Chain A
Amino acid sequence: QITLRESGLTLVKPTQTLTLTCTFSGFSLNTNGVAVGWIRQPPGKALEWLAVIYWDDDKRYSPSLRNRLTITKDASKNQVVLTMTNMDPVDTGTYYCASEHVAVASDAFDVWGQGTTVTVPS
């Protein structure tokens, strides 16, 4: 059974850096065709893709947030970490991590974590 769980500080001050950890089980990020991504959702708004990291350490970022995001992995710990710099109140929302298994569901996010709510006060 595949599970993912997001963790990190839920209250971040403006200009600070957000650090979120995705801890997963049931698969390995050393396996060909596997990836973990981050997606966020402001309150009452749509999903927004942020970043993805592949089994071979290839990384992709949202063009609009590229200069603020860093995604890394520690496959031995089954963890993926996302950092976002210079946080602003508009970054408030729920942050999800999700897995991709190309052999199972192409490049779709097939399993999602429950999400963690991040608040940046104004």
Chain B
Amino acid sequence: SYELTQPLSVSVALGQTATIACEGDNIEVKNVHWYQQRPDQAPLLVIYRDNNRPSGIPERFSGSNSGNTATLTISRAQAGDEADYYCQVWDSSIRVFGGGTKVTVL
């Protein structure tokens, strides 16, 4: 079965840029989606199909996908960006989530 690997944690200084990797075999051929989950809240879609932002998501959130790694980038990090972030793909008609990355804003 397809697997997605994310770092357990990422730290970023306030106002700086955070990058979160999502690794999977030849992931570049798949559509990668990213979700933000703040403490005690439901997940929120922040990026779909590699680099598209749903309505209401700030431009500070961007995505890319190449080779075996998809990346979520959070520019000008704010305290409110502190959350868990999950990547997700569709593989052979099933959905697969990464293990999640905890982003801490220092």
A-side residues, CB < 8 A to B, are 37, 39, 46-49, 52, 60-63, 96, 98, 104-115
Q: A37-B95, A112-B44, A114-B42 are in contact. List 15 more A-B contacts (CB 8 A).
A: A46-B86, A46-B98, A46-B99, A47-B35, A47-B37, A47-B88, A47-B100, A49-B88, A60-B93, A61-B94, A106-B48, A108-B31, A109-B35, A110-B54, A115-B42
Q: Are A60 and B88 in contact (CB under 8 A)?
A: no
Q: Are A96 and B43 in contact (CB under 8 A)?
A: yes
Question: How many contacts between A and B, using CB within 8 angstroms?
Answer: 67
Measured between beta carbons, the chain A residues less than 8 angstroms from B1 are: 63
A–B complex contacts, Cβ < 8 Å, 5 sampled: A39-B43, A46-B86, A48-B97, A60-B93, A106-B48
